[in-house]
Structure 1
Amino acid sequence: EAEGKPRFLWDVELGVCPGEQLIRQIVDVLPDLVGKLRDLSELEARFTEKLERAALDALAEFSAGAAHELNNPLAIISGRAQLLLRSETSPDRRMALATIIAQARRAHEMLADLRLFARPPCPEPRIIDLAELVKNIGHEFRKETEGTGISLQSKVPETPVFCEVDPVQIRVALEAICRNAVEALGESGQIHIELACEQNEVVIRVQDNGPGISSEYQPLVFHPFFSGRSAGRGLGFGLSKAWRIVQIHGGRLELHSVPGSGTLVVVRLPCSGISRPLQETSPN
């Protein structure tokens, strides 16, 4: 007893003090607890991903119907304006009609992008060299940004990286991602494109050192109706098209961004078709 209160110094039967026994029990269950917490975290991440995909799929169905309904009256407006333009002699009215036609065409292009997001055409896959495709896209954007303060660097394997994809659709997706990076930089900055093979995937990374995207806007960047210009970045339909194309190829599109430190967009495509013999791509 100490100060009139009982105090156990040693448990003779167990051979250990009660505090040490409790610590041993905690140590025994700790690995199992950590494993369960890790599983719970992974389950939450998968649930969030599936929920986001379901929301985008529902949005795609709405977009398909909206694009169809808007396209018909838009075609009538454009057609009537062109007919009036043929017989109009007043310079001011001709200019007004030309503006109507130009804006109608712009709206039609936006609806075409919306239809591509909503119901993209079925891919026509064939075995291509993704390394060559990434090199060509990098070369095109280097020429486009020549004379500006934007520099573009690419890191591509010297050996071919064969993958079975629709070359037109994948080009559209990669160009949209690169275009998004160029618009984010404005007048100056750096863009880095990298192609690599990792485990069972082909990974394409496009990174810029622009203003980045705040965390509140990041969950919305793949939505076709979201405009990131208020967040300092013009997203438009570019990333939504890219997300849809990558999805129908069985891949994933990821975005990582820290405000003030730039943005990284990662395309992950399955390795089906990679490392097949070269003769499969040519009759010779």
Structure 2
Amino acid sequence: MSFTEPSRRTLLFLLGLLFFFTIAMGAAIYSSYRLSLRASQDLLATRAVDIAIGVEFLLHREGIDNVVLFEEILRSGRWDDLAFLALYDADGEILLHSNPNLIEEEYRDPTISKVFEERRPVSHFLRLQTGEMVFVFDLPVHLQGGTKGPYYVLRVALHTYPARWIVRQARLQGMLMGASVLITWLLGIMGYRSWLRGERLAEEMRQARHLAALGQLAAVLAHEIRNPLGSIKGFAQLMRERLGRAIFGTRPLTPEALVEMQADLATIVSEASRLEQLTRDLLTYARPSPLKPQEVDLTSLVRETVRSFTCSEVWEEKTPQLEESLEEIRTITDPEKVKQILFNLLTNALEAISPGGRIIVALRRASGHIIISVGDSGPGIDSQRAGEIFEPFFTTKAKGSGLGLAIVKRLAGVLGGQITVYRKEECTFFELSLPEMEAKEDGEGKLSHPGGGR
């Protein structure tokens, strides 16, 4: 299915937003996990340093000859997260250990050699033979006594379960955030599928309305075209028969017959004019001519349009009471389109009134807009059908294509205005609101709203 440009922009925006949310959440999960790892290591390192300082103090006080010192420290439970303690000399021999069975054994460890060489503490993780991963802090210490010199390495090994709790919390948080991303994507996919269904249904409804409009157009055209064509065909056949009888001498043309034929020809011309007007209305509604704005004396334009309309035969038949209230207004607009709107509104008003009724034409300024209103004293519009009068092909009259007011609304939109209808003092008013335009010195137009405008 094809998407409209606003729908495509909305879809791309939502997809971009979803991808940005996913990337942001992924970065947040990664950053949170890295921070938790660093925090857990910092926690272990701080704890190991505290224990190492305490043990070093005990070694200075007790000396390294107390072989059960580390075992007693471990058993005392003073540091419940302590895995083991060990003291190494430069040859890698274990001088003290919390496990007495390992004392005097040699333990070759590159990390211990590095501490002896660089004389600085080193921390790392070490996996024991039991499979447990412990945090190890190796601290160079200077001790008096002993046979291997004053420098030794104190190893403090800690259980990692307190720090692992931080990491587990970070992993849990990451899983929850990942789940929220997954749920967001699932909801997004479901929403997208729902949106696609909505777009499909909207497209089907648009096509249905289009087909209905085409059907209505076909019905109106069939009705509006069939009647004039039927009249044209009937009168043309009648004239052919009369001319045939005159040519073959069976019935000569009398003056009365010529008068009848002239009336028939007038009817043919009238019906052809109806077809021409219908075609013109259809073209005006379907494809309005390009806007041609120019500086216009709107007061004179309205007055001349009304005067030319009062010269029509229908006007003379109904002889309505015309009331005019025209302010002096100059503006920039398309005069031909304004004339077309005014002509259609006057035609609608004249068809609505009974003989001798009132037609009111007014021109004024209001809130930065120009208002042209046409009112009539006709029976008014059914409130239940007021919203349909500007629809194409809608009409309650026996004759007419139902395009007059639809053209008014279409041209009002082209001019940047709007058309409204209301009932006041037993008269129905159609009000055309146009934005007021002022002329520049170079003759171009500038939209202005001196009164605040709508």
Q: Indicate which of 294, 300, 304 corresponds to 1:126.
A: 294
Distance in structure 1 (CA, Å) of the matches to 2:307 and 2:270: 31
Q: Percent identity?
A: 25
**In the alignment, residue 154 of structure 1 is paired with which amino acid?**
E
Q: Residue 428 of structure 2 corresponds to which residue in structure 1?
A: 263
Counterpart contact for 2:293–2:335, Cα < 8 Å: yes
Pick closer, same or farther for the CA change 1:229–1:128 going to 2, 3 Å.
same
Distance in structure 2 (CA, Å) of the matches to 1:103 and 1:120: 25
1:173 Cα offset (Å): 0.9
Pick closer, same or farther for the CA change 1:280–1:235 going to 2, 3 Å.
same
Secondary structure (helix, strand or coil) at the match of 2:279 reads helix
1:104 Cα offset (Å): 4.5
Q: Indicate which of 313, 316, 325 corresponds to 1:155.
A: 325
**In the alignment, residue 395 of structure 2 is paired with which amino acid?**
S
- Report whether the alignment pairs 1:170 with 2:338: yes
Counterpart contact for 1:222–1:240, Cα < 8 Å: yes
Counterpart contact for 1:222–1:243, Cα < 8 Å: yes
Q: Residue 135 of structure 1 corresponds to which residue in structure 2?
A: 303
**In the alignment, residue 249 of structure 1 is paired with which amino acid?**
L
Q: 1:95-244 alignment to 2 at 5 Å? A: 98=265, 103-144=271-312, 145=315, 148-157=318-327, 159=328, 161-229=329-397, 236-244=402-410
* Cα RMSD after superposing both structures: 4.3
1:266 Cα offset (Å): 0.3
Pick closer, same or farther for the CA change 1:175–1:213 going to 2, 3 Å.
same
Distance in structure 2 (CA, Å) of the matches to 1:107 and 1:244: 21
Distance in structure 2 (CA, Å) of the matches to 1:254 and 1:58: 25
Pick closer, same or farther for the CA change 1:235–1:256 going to 2, 3 Å.
farther
**In the alignment, residue 210 of structure 1 is paired with which amino acid?**
G
Secondary structure (helix, strand or coil) at the match of 1:229 reads coil
**In the alignment, residue 150 of structure 1 is paired with which amino acid?**
P
Distance in structure 1 (CA, Å) of the matches to 2:369 and 2:210: 28
Pick closer, same or farther for the CA change 1:203–1:121 going to 2, 3 Å.
same
1:142 Cα offset (Å): 4.4
**In the alignment, residue 253 of structure 1 is paired with which amino acid?**
I
Counterpart contact for 2:358–2:376, Cα < 8 Å: yes
Distance in structure 1 (CA, Å) of the matches to 2:210 and 2:293: 26
1:108 Cα offset (Å): 3.3
Counterpart contact for 1:183–1:234, Cα < 8 Å: no
Q: Cα deviation per residue 1:170-205 (whole Å; 9 max; x = unaligned)? A: 101101101111111131211111111112211111
Q: Indicate which of 394, 416, 431 corresponds to 1:250.
A: 416
Q: Cα deviation per residue 1:202-252 (whole Å; 9 max; x = unaligned)? A: 11111111111111221121123112227xx97832212211111111110
Q: Cα deviation per residue 1:5-45 (whole Å; 9 max; x = unaligned)? A: xxxxxxxxxxxxxxxxxxxxxxxxxxxxxxxxxxxxxxxxx
Pick closer, same or farther for the CA change 1:123–1:249 going to 2, 3 Å.
same
Counterpart contact for 2:393–2:401, Cα < 8 Å: no
Highest RCO, 1 vs 2 (Cα 8 Å, sep ≥ 6): 1
Distance in structure 2 (CA, Å) of the matches to 1:215 and 1:256: 10
Counterpart contact for 2:317–2:355, Cα < 8 Å: no
Q: Residue 92 of structure 2 corresponds to which residue in structure 1?
A: none
- Structure 2 stretches lacking a partner, 5+ long: 1-205, 245-252, 445-454
Counterpart contact for 1:206–1:264, Cα < 8 Å: yes
Pick closer, same or farther for the CA change 1:214–1:142 going to 2, 3 Å.
same
Distance in structure 1 (CA, Å) of the matches to 2:310 and 2:292: 29
Pick closer, same or farther for the CA change 1:205–1:58 going to 2, 3 Å.
farther
Distance in structure 2 (CA, Å) of the matches to 1:128 and 1:168: 11
Secondary structure (helix, strand or coil) at the match of 1:109 reads helix
1:125 Cα offset (Å): 1.3
- Structure 1 stretches lacking a partner, 5+ long: 1-53
Distance in structure 1 (CA, Å) of the matches to 2:400 and 2:276: 19
Secondary structure (helix, strand or coil) at the match of 1:120 reads coil
1:269 Cα offset (Å): 0.7
Aligned length: 213
**In the alignment, residue 182 of structure 1 is paired with which amino acid?**
L
Distance in structure 2 (CA, Å) of the matches to 1:189 and 1:255: 19
**In the alignment, residue 366 of structure 2 is paired with which amino acid?**
E
TM-score of the superposed pair, with normalisation by structure 1: 0.59
Q: 1:10-29 alignment to 2 at 5 Å? A: none
**In the alignment, residue 246 of structure 1 is paired with which amino acid?**
A
**In the alignment, residue 193 of structure 1 is paired with which amino acid?**
V
